[in-house]
Amino acid sequence: MFILLLFLMQLLMPGSSNIVGIDSEEKFRSSLRKVQDETLSAVFYFTAVWCGPCRLLSPVIGQLSEKYPNVTTYKIDIDQEGLGSTLSELNIHSVVMEMPVPLGKNSTGEVGVAVSLVAKLDRFPLCNLKLGGVPTLHFYKDGKKVSEVIGADLQRLKDTMEDLYK
């Protein structure tokens, strides 16, 4: 319920941000083509609803999109079914996410925890982008990919935006 509420809040957030949701292969392909053909500045933000670090990053992405109105941010949920073959082309097959999973107490009363969960995304094929996990951000300037941030490194995200788009 909480995740659904966060997702709905992100969709309905007011403000003058220029975040474009990508929900189909055609929309992704046409957005990437537009950025490349018109030599635009853009950020492609790969995320997932279940991703905790992505939820941490989302408000910051919104603030930065307002600070840099000349940069369009394209938000792509990697689990979106309409992106199937595009995700495959970008070579996304799995995402490793760390998540505590209680396993029960041992004889000394300690709780065992598993911390790695692999989400198989073979059914959601995007390939030459080589995403190692979410969140991943690809930064374009003058129509060319010039930088990338993997993970919820807020300072690196802010620094990259400042360096590229000031």
* The residue to which tokens 């659904």 are assigned: 4
Does 127 qualify as catalytic in the annotation?
A: no
Q: Is 51 a catalytic residue?
A: yes
φ, ψ of residue 90 to 5 degrees: the values are -90, 5
Quick check: 45 and 74 in contact, CB under 8 A?
A: yes
Q: Which entry of 54, 121, 126, 157 is annotated as an active-site residue?
A: 54
Of residues 19, 32, 42, 51, which has the active-site annotation?
51
Catalytic machinery residues: 51, 54
